[in-house]
C-alpha cells in the first residue's frame, strides 16, 4: 500500500493543519501539500515540551530505554512505507534507505542500552571530612541531569539518521529531554511517517504527549523563533555553514544564551605519504574515487581534498580519473543542493592555478564527478580552495616536498576528519603530522576513507569550527548524550533524595 502523507504538524499529540501550505519537491512521483508552520505552532510546541519535561525529565533510565526501543519497533513496523516515501522524496536508492533506517533503529537501541548501564550519569562522590584542618569538607555528590526541551533541525542529506528520530533526537530522549523537531523541506513526508512512529511509542509508553512535536515548513522566522524561544534549552543542527552560523548567532544573542550544537561540514582532507603512494597508488586512487561519489558526494565526511607529493603522484591521479570516468550521473537530494554543487564547482574551476583534470556535465538535479588539481602554493594563497563543495567533487593538492605538505596541514580550518595514508616507511613523517591534525579534526583515520561513520561509544563526529560549533561535542555515538546534560552537585544532601544515585 502506497503511503500518502496527510501533511499536518504533530504538536503535543495532535495532528494540526493549516490553510497555508507548501508543496514537496520529490525526485520522482507526485508532490504533496504540507502545512506551513507559524510562530504560534512554535510557541505551542515549546510550551508542551516544557510541561512534559516535569515528568519525562524525572523519569528513570528504564522508562526511557523502553521508550527508545518502542520507537525503534514502530519504525521497523513502517519499514516499507518509509522506503517508499523516502525514495520518492530524495531519490536515494532502496539499499541506502534501508541501511539508513537500520542505522536509525540501531542508534535508538544503542542509547537505550547505554543509559541502562548508568555510566552517562558520571556519578562522583567526595566524602565528608569533618575533622579536616583548617576547615572541614562537606559531603559532595555530583551527577548529570537533563537540561530541558531541545530543538532539532532535520538534515537534508540524511532523511532518517540525522532527522526526525535521528541521533540528536535519540540522544536528547535518552538524556530525558523533550524534543521539538523542525522538519526539513527536502523530505517532509519521511519526517511525517517517522513522527507517527514516535507518536505511537509515546502512547504505548504512557508518556506526556509534549515529549515530541514535529513542525514542518515555514520561513526563516519560524526557525529563528524556535531557537530563540525562552523554553528551548539547546539546539541540534546538521546542515550548511551559512544557515548554521545564523542560528548559532541567534542562540548566542538570546537574553539567556543557549548552546548550539551545529555540525556544518568540512573538506575532510587526506594526506598521502610517499611510501604508501609508491606501493598502493592505484588502490588508494580507486578507493578515494569510490568514497568521493558515495551518495553523490552528499556526506559531510566526503573526502573532497587529497594532498600528495609531486613525486610518484601520477599513478594515483590516473587511477582516480579512471575510476571516476565510469560513474553515471546520480540524482541529488534537492534542486537547491544540485544548484549549489554547480556553483561550488564554478568557484573551484575559476580559482587561480587550478587545473580541471576530469570534465563532466551536470544538469538539473543530476550530478557527475569533477576532479581538479592545484599546487600546495596555490592552496596556501587561496582560501576558496578550502571551502566545502557538497557533492562528488575532488581536489588534488600537489606538494613539492614534506615541508609544503606540512604547511597545507597547518593551514586547514577545523575538520570533521583528516586521513593519513601511510606504510611502514612513512611512520616518522606521519608522527610529525599527527599533532597538527589533532588540532584540526575530531576524527583521524589511518589507511581508510571517512565516509562511513560508526555509531559507537568511541566515535567523534564533530571538530573545531567551522566543522562544528562546539569542539567538545559529537553528534554521533553515545557521547552525544552529554550535550543535553549538565552536572549538578549536592552538598550534604540525604542520599535518598538524589534520584538515580
Catalytic residues: 263, 300
Pairing mode of beta strands 305-309, 355-358: unpaired
Q: For residue 103, give the 3-state DSSP assignment.
A: helix
Distance CA 288, CA 493 (A): 57
Pairing mode of beta strands 9-11, 14-16: antiparallel
In angstroms, what CA-CA distances link 241 with 127, 221, 427, 448? 47, 18, 35, 26
Distance CA 88, CA 76 (A): 19
C-alpha cell at 371: 576532479
Q: For residue 431, give the 3-state DSSP assignment.
A: helix
For 107-144, the three-class secondary structure string (H helix, E strand, C coil) is HHHHHHHHHHHCHHHCCEEECCECCCCCCCECCEEEEE
- Whether the Cβ atoms of residue 457 and residue 477 lie closer than 8 Å to each other: yes
Q: Which of 263, 243, 173 is nearest to 212 (CA)?
A: 173
- Whether the Cβ atoms of residue 186 and residue 60 lie closer than 8 Å to each other: no
Distance CA 381, CA 363 (A): 31
Distance CA 17, CA 185 (A): 16
Distance CA 259, CA 236 (A): 9
Distance CA 234, CA 251 (A): 8
- Whether the Cβ atoms of residue 285 and residue 306 lie closer than 8 Å to each other: no
Where do runs of H (alpha helix) occur along 162-273? 167-175, 188-205, 220-228, 241-253
Burial of 360 (0-12, 13-18, 19+ CB in 10 A): middle
Residue 447 CB neighbour total at 10 angstroms:
14
Q: For residue 425, give the 3-state DSSP assignment.
A: helix
Distance CA 176, CA 453 (A): 25
Q: Which residue has the cell 609508491?
A: 278
Distance CA 285, CA 370 (A): 14
99 Cβ contact partners less than 8 Å away, ≥ 6 residues apart: none
255 Cβ contact partners less than 8 Å away, ≥ 6 residues apart: 230
Amino acid at each position: 500500500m502506497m503511503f500518502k502523507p496527510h501533511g499536518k504538524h504533530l504538536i503535543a499529540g495532535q495532528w494540526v493543519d493549516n490553510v497555508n501550505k507548501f508543496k514537496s519537491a520529490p525526485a520522482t512521483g507526485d508532490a504533496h501539500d504540507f502545512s506551513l508552520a507559524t510562530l504560534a505552532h512554535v510557541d505551542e510546541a515549546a510550551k508542551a515540551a516544557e510541561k512534559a519535561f516535569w515528568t519525562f525529565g524525572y523519569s528513570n533510565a528504564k522508562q526511557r530505554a523502553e521508550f527508545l526501543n518502542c520507537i525503534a519497533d514502530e519504525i521497523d513496523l513502517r519499514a516499507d512505507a518509509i522506503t517508499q516515501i523516502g525514495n520518492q522524496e530524495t531519490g536515494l536508492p532502496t539499499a541506502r534507505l534501508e541501511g539508513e533506517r537500520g542505522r536509525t533503529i540501531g542508534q535508538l537501541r544503542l542509547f537505550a542500552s547505554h543509559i541502562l548501564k548508568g555510566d552517562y550519569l558520571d556519578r562522583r562522590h567526595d566524602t565528608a571530612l569533618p575533622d579536616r584542618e583548617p576547615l572541614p569538607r562537606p559531603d559532595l555528590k555530583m551527577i548529570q541531569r537533563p537540561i530541558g526541551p531541545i530543538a532539532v533541525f532535520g538534515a537534508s542529506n540524511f532523511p532518517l539518521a540525522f532527522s526526525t528520530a535521528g541521533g540528536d533526537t535519540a540522544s536528547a530522549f535518552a538524556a530525558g529531554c523533550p524534543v521539538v523537531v523542525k522538519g526539513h523541506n527536502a523530505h517532509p513526508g519521511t519526517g511525517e511517517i517517522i513522527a507517527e512512529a514516535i507518536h505511537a511509542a509515546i502512547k504505548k509508553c504512557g508518556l506526556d504527549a509534549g515529549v515530541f512535536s514535529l513542525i514542518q515548513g515555514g520561513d526563516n522566522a519560524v526557525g529563528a523563533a524556535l531557537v530563540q524561544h525562552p523554553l528551548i534549552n539547546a539546539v541540534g543542527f546538521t546542515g550548511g555553514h551559512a544557515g548554521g552560523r545564523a542560528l548559532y548567532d541567534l542562540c548566542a544573542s538570546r537574553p539567556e544564551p543557549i548552546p548550539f550544537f551545529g555540525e556544518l561540514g568540512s573538506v575532510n582532507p587526506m594526506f598521502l605519504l610517499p611510501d604508501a603512494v609508491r606501493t598502493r597508488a592505484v588502490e588508494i586512487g580507486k578507493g578515494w574515487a569510490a568514497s568521493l561519489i558515495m551518495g553523490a558526494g552528499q556526506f559531510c565526511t566526503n573526502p573532497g581534498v587529497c594532498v600528495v607529493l609531486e613525486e610518484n603522484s601520477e599513478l594515483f591521479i590516473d587511477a582516480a580519473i579512471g575510476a571516476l570516468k565510469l560513474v553515471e550521473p546520480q540524482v541529488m537530494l534537492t534542486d537547491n543542493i544540485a544548484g549549489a554543487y554547480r556553483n561550488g564547482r564554478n568557484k573551484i574551476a575559476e580559482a587561480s592555478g587550478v587545473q580541471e583534470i576530469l570534465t563532466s556535465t551536470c544538469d538539473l538535479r543530476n550530478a557527475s564527478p569533477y576532479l581538479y588539481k592545484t599546487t600546495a602554493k596555490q592552496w596556501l594563497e587561496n582560501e576558496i580552495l578550502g571551502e566545502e563543495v557538497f557533492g562528488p567533487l575532488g581536489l588534488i593538492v600537489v606538494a613539492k616536498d614534506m615541508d609544503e605538505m606540512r604547511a597545507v596541514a597547518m593551514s586547514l580550518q577545523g575538520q570533521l576528519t583528516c586521513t593519513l595514508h601511510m606504510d611502514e616507511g612513512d611512520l616518522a613523517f606521519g608522527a610529525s603530522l599527527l599533532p597538527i591534525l589533532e588540532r584540526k579534526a575530531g576524527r583521524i583515520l589511518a589507511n581508510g576513507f571517512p565516509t562511513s561513520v560508526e555509531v559507537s561509544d568511541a566515535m567523534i563526529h564533530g571538530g573545531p569550527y567551522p566543522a562544528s560549533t562546539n569542539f567538545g561535542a559529537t553528534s554521533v555515538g553515545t557521547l552525544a548524550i552529554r550535550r543535553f546534560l549538565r552536572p549538578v552537585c549536592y552538598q550534604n544532601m540525604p542520599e535518598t533524595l538524589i534520584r538515580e544515585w
